[in-house]
Amino acid sequence: MKTDIPTGARMPHLWEATISLFSLVVGISISIVAYGLDPQIPMLLGVIVASLVALRCGFSWQNIQNGMVRGITNALPAMIILLVVGILIGVWILAGVVPTLIYYGLQFMSPTIFLPATLIICAITSLATGTSWGTSGTIGVALMGIGAGLGFPLPLVAGAVLSGAYFGDKMSPLSDTTNLAPAMAGTDLFTHIKHMSYTTGVSITLTLIIEIVLGLRYSAAGGDLERIDTMLTTLADNFTINPVLLLPPLVVLFVSYRKMPAIPGITLGVIAGVICAVGLQGANYEALANAAFGGFSSDTGVDEVDSLLSRGGLESMFFTISLIIVAMMFGGVMERTNQLKVIADKILSYAKSTASLITSTVLTSIAANLILCDQYMAIVMGARTYAPAYRERGLAPENLSRAVEDSATVTANLVPWNSGGAYQAATLGVATIAYLPFNFFCWLSPIVTIIFGITGWTIHRIEPEAAAEAAEV
């Protein structure tokens, strides 16, 4: 990480940076665990503490404010996507797109294969499109409804959706994170993907086995056929169910595959949903506007259906956006005033062996997700901080890019105040803490990477001459 210290300021001491970090972690922990409160206010207190530490180190208020603004600016694309996805969900439910997907899914998906099928479907979708967010916001929402109809706990279904979505995102050459990690580490895209296949193959195989076992366990308990029939009848009575309504999701998947940026791609999905709502459900402008802003309000008289379909809308994302704004303010201050660098440098000083270096890379990238609250910033920080150390020790850069993406990319959605965790919780309707234990792939990935580092499996090395040439580039 580049050190940028304005005139009159100094590097923070480790204890000072640690106070800022602890103020955030302790404040959030007490508020959520002890009082069941939302995290925004304790996070804002963390911003205040980090700012006071920065002032003590000689940074001007303008420097601190610039850090906050820069942090928020980095998250603006994610916040715009959140708003558009909120509109998409509301419009797609009104149009009958989500009800149609749930209807067909309940007819053709059996409880025995549901969880592994969900994992595979989301993995293929994300691999083809390169986006975990797009996968969970489209096919993921429908799979949540199917899972609920089949009697699966929603956190369990969300875990399967996200495990598949992040596998595909991580391994797809179309993914922005998969391109960013090797670029920051100094290797090429396909070398990075090939090197990731070793650890990722183990993680996704273990996840698939777990999903198969859980699927057999829940199917053995017996499915509630009467409950499924009630849902099918209710959906058919309240919406026009038609195969044509499968087109909007296909439109989104196609434009994603064609590498159209997320915002215009999802917007096309909204437009396709509007056309279907007017043409097949008879929706008028008022109904469309209400669904787009306030979400769809289901009133079928069947509680299970109403709880599934009463969601979406621009308004539903405001809580999540407020969380991201405060989180990015804290991350921006910590990065701009070098408090995060001090902590990372201390960790690096203890990384004497290859195993400890890879472990430090993984833990630092996870910590960056906790502090910087954005997976892209976590990837950049992990790669920048450790790239010189990998070169000095003759370790090929693909080892670094793999360690960073096996940690930074997949753990962002496990942090409630990270943009990834906030987005997935809002989109799938399940709290981050609730789905975390069941998101097997995303917490297995960093563990498998550390094990590979300790054992030395598939750790590539380079000659000292090559390392010296890389350092000069």
Q: Residue 159 CA to chain centroid, in angstroms?
A: 12
Comparing C-alpha atoms, which of 72, 91, 78 is closest to residue 267? 91
The whole-angstrom separation of Cα 115 and Cα 128 is: 20
Q: Which of 42-46, 167-171, 387-391, 436-440 has the highest mean pLDDT?
A: 436-440
Residue 280 has pLDDT above 90, yes or no: yes
Residue-level pLDDT at 3: 61
Residue-level pLDDT at 469: 53
Query: Would you give the DSSP letter of residue 313?
Result: S
Look at 60-64, 193-197, 307-311, 467-471 and tell me which has the smallest mean pLDDT. 467-471
Residue-level pLDDT at 265: 86
Residue 227 has pLDDT above 80, yes or no: no
Residue 129 has pLDDT above 90, yes or no: no
Beta bridge partners of 145: none
Q: What is the mean pLDDT of residues 281-302?
A: 93
Residue-level pLDDT at 95: 95
Q: Tell if the pTM clears 0.85, that is, is over it.
A: no
Look at 193-207, 272-286, 291-305 and tell me which has the smallest mean pLDDT. 291-305
Does residue 457 sit in helix, strand or coil? Answer: coil
Residue 424 has pLDDT above 90, yes or no: yes
Residue-level pLDDT at 363: 92
Residue-level pLDDT at 221: 56
Q: What is the mean pLDDT of the chain?
A: 88
Residue-level pLDDT at 275: 97
Residue-level pLDDT at 220: 57
Residue 223 has pLDDT above 80, yes or no: no
Read out DSSP for 146-204? Answer: HHHHTT--HHHHHHHHHHHHHHHHHH-TT-HHHHHHHHHHT--HHHHHHHHHHHHHHHH
Tell me if 160 sits within 8 A of 115, measured CB to CB: yes
Residue-level pLDDT at 464: 56
Q: Residue 430 CA to chain centroid, in angstroms?
A: 13
CA angle 190, 164, 138 (to 5 degrees): 110
Residue 319 has pLDDT above 50, yes or no: yes
Q: Which residues of 424-444 are buried (b: 16+ CB within 10 A; e: fewer)?
A: bbbbbbbebebbbebbbbbbb
Q: What is the mean pLDDT of residues 343-367?
A: 88
Tell me if 94 sits within 8 A of 287, measured CB to CB: yes
- Own/partner contacts of 28-36, CB < 8 Å, gap of 24 or more, are 28/417, 32/416, 32/433
Comparing C-alpha atoms, which of 272, 281, 278 is closest to residue 309? 281
Tell me if 137 sits within 8 A of 265, measured CB to CB: no
Residue 214 has pLDDT above 90, yes or no: yes
Comparing C-alpha atoms, which of 232, 93, 216, 92 is closest to residue 152? 216
Residue-level pLDDT at 473: 45
Residue-level pLDDT at 352: 82
Beta bridge partners of 395: 461
Residue-level pLDDT at 8: 87
Alpha-carbon distances of 129 from 29, 132, 200, 244, 395, rounded to whole Å: 36, 8, 18, 22, 32
Neighbours of 194 (CB within 10 A): 12
Q: What is the pLDDT of residues 144-185, one digit of tens each?
A: 989 988 889 999 999 999 999 999 989 988 788 888 889 888
Q: What is the pLDDT of residues 94-119, one digit of tens each?
A: 999 989 988 888 888 888 899 999 99
